[in-house]
Structure formats: C-alpha cells, structure tokens
Structure 1
C-alpha cells in the first residue's frame, strides 16, 4: 500500500471513531429518556388502576371518615 492510502485510511478511521462516540452519547441519552418514560408510564398505569378500582367500589371511595 502506498503511504497516501494508509493516511487516507487512518483519517477515515479517526472520523469513524468520532462518529461512534457521538452515536454512543446519543444512545446513552435516549436510554435515560426511555427510563424516565417507563417510570412515568408505570405511575400513570398505577393511577388509572386505582381510579378504576375506586369506580368499581364507589361506597368505599365516598365513605365518610368516622370523625364527621
């Protein structure tokens, strides 16, 4: 191989390494966002579930505490 070709390949490799690092950063940030979204979805699911149970048992939800 000629020296020009080796230099060209080294330059391409350097650009690819930079690209891989940039993509890795993006993937890591997206994983954090996915984790937050999963947590939010779980909270919403639990809230909807508790509201649905309250609708099925309205006497429990509307029951007055004993101090009234």
Structure 2
C-alpha cells in the first residue's frame, strides 16, 4: 500500500467512527428530549394540582401546632 492509500484508509476509519459517535449522540439527545418533555408535563400537572388546592392561611405559626397541654 502506498502512503496515500494508508492515509486515505485511516481517514475513512476516522470518518466511520465519527459517524457512529454522531449517531449514538443523536440517540441520547432524542432520549433526553423525551424525558424532558415527560418531566415538563409532570411539573405542569403538579402545578395545576397545587393551583386547584383550596387557599389556606398564608402564614402558619408553630404555636398553632403545639399540643393542647402546652
């Protein structure tokens, strides 16, 4: 093999590894985006639940929670 052929083969191998890495990284990004979307929907559902709760006192003193014998 000539030097040019060896260099060309080495570059093709590197390009192949680069393409494989890019494909795997894209799969990770797609999986992460799905998880982000799922978590965003869960947070939105929790926010709706909190907003639907009846409004209680804005401030609760710890004295209000003391047992009666104090």
* TM value normalised by structure 1: 0.74
Structure 1 partner of 2:18: 16
Among 2, 5, 29, which residue is 1:3 paired with? 5
User: Could you tell me how far 1:30 is from its partner in structure 2?
Assistant: 0.4
For residue 43 of structure 2, the aligned residue among 41, 44, 50 is 41
Normalized per residue, the structure richer in helix is 1
5+ unaligned residues in a row in structure 2: which ranges? 57-70
RMSD across aligned positions (CA): 1.2
Runs ≥4 in structure 1, deviation > 6 angstroms?
none
Larger Rg: 2
Q: TM-score w.r.t. structure 2 length?
A: 0.72
The whole-number CA distance in structure 2 between the counterparts of 1:38 and 1:18 is: 30
2:32 aligned residue: 30
Number of equivalenced pairs: 54
